[in-house]
Homo-oligomer: A and B are copies of this chain.
Amino acid sequence: REVEGAFREARSDPGFRERLETLLALHVGRPTPLTPAPRLSAELGVTLLLKREDLTHTGSHKINNVLGQALLATRMGRTRLIAETGAGMHGVAVATGAALLGLRATVFMGERDVERQALNVFRMRMLGAEVVTVGAGSRTLKDATSEAMRHWVSATEEAYYCVGSVVGPTPYPWMVREFQRVIGDEARGQCAGALASAVPDYVVACVGGGSNAAGTFAGFVDTAARLVGVEAEGGAGASRGRLGVLHGFRSLFLQDEHGQITEAHSIAAGLDYPGVGPEHAYLRDLGRARYVTVSDEEVVGAAVRLARTEGIVPALESAHAIAWVIRAAVAGELPPGATVLITLSGRGDKDMSTLKELV
């Protein structure tokens, strides 16, 4: 509640917005380019444009949101950030934002993710953050989130809980989307320059909790572009979830017949979350966005293909979006010559050891 008031105030304070914009320009490297993908486009018979969040400082779109919330925390007089992380990208972003603004940071991470993403764990520690390993449950993002919430409840006065996606209680889903809409807003302007049609036919982004998709879609929701969110087969909250409540918000969650939340499984640690942000549930119900799934195999193939044709190794999360576009183009679902904007939410460096075992 306190966060909501503070965010409303900050949003209408030009000083706050200016400070955030300066941080995004000078520290994060915004605007990120909109990169054409001529070789893959030619192979698929469509025109692909890639929004390059992988080029941001720390290597994923997570930093956009984190700097916004970290500035807000400072404004609220908090001295510490608490966060959960899955793939570790949000955690690295939090550690980075904390270092930059002189705050302390405590990041909770499931034991399995700590193993899978050992380098990100070390990056966080290099940046001065405390990383807490969570051994409970499935030892992934879901459990890290539970543990982080438990911890935060005991330290609400000094600490600010920095949610990494468009999930959690009000105002987080809304606030995180607002901090991420810079992706969609920039892309909208860049598409206007790059495409004769000004707006692409398709706007595609991967969906775990769904923050890069929410930020991207925000820029195009008022256009004719078809919005497509691509989920992991084993973590398809929007595609296969049922209405439920977890971690303080009501949305679509993977659950069994008894209402127990089931574990998500994806090759991409950042998509290992059984739910999806409430806005995606809403966009799905409205029919404004469509949610589809791709398999781990398609994802690895897509990552390799983008690397070999365009010299870009995407994060496995982002490769989900590529994988669906490849499948849809090959299946003729995308009309020849269709223009497609894909958000590359992050870079693949963190996934090298996973890929090494598979390729």
Residues of A within 8 A of B (CB): 25-27, 29, 32-36, 39, 52, 54-57, 59, 95-100, 102, 119, 122-123, 125-128, 303-304, 307-313, 348-349, 352-353, 355-356, 359
The answer to whether B128 touches A308 (Cβ under 8 A) is yes
- The CA-CA distance from A119 to B353 in the complex, in Å, is 7
Closest to A120 in B: B352
User: B128 and A312: CB pair below 8 A?
Assistant: no
Give the CA-CA distance A95 to B310 in the complex, in Å. Answer: 10
- Check A29 against B52 for contact (C-beta < 8 Å): yes
Return 29 A-B CB contacts under 8 Å, by A number: A25-B33, A26-B34, A26-B35, A27-B33, A27-B311, A29-B29, A29-B32, A29-B52, A39-B100, A55-B56, A59-B349, A97-B311, A99-B307, A99-B308, A99-B309, A99-B310, A99-B311, A119-B349, A119-B352, A122-B352, A122-B355, A123-B313, A126-B348, A126-B352, A126-B359, A127-B308, A128-B307, A128-B308, A349-B349
Are A33 and B39 closer than 8 Å at their CB atoms?
Answer: no
Cα–Cα distance between A313 and B352 once the two chains are bound (Å): 19
How far apart are the CA atoms of A39 and B128 in the complex, in Å? 14
Partner of A313, one of B33, B34, B127: B127
Task: Quickly give the copy total for this chain.
Answer: 2
| Given known A-B contacts A33-B29, A34-B26, A55 and B57 have beta carbons under 8 A apart | yes
Closest chain B residue to A98, Cβ basis: B311
Contact between A122 and B356, CB atoms less than 8 A apart: yes
Per the bound structure, the CA–CA distance linking A309 and B359 in Å amounts to: 38
* Residues of chain B contacted by A307 (CB below 8 angstroms): 99, 126-128
Provided the pairs A25-B33, A26-B36, A355-B122 are in contact, do residues A311 and B100 lie with their beta carbons within 8 angstroms? yes
Bound: A39/B29 CA distance, A: 19
In the bound complex, residues from chain B placing their C-beta under 8 Å from that of A308 are: 99, 126-128
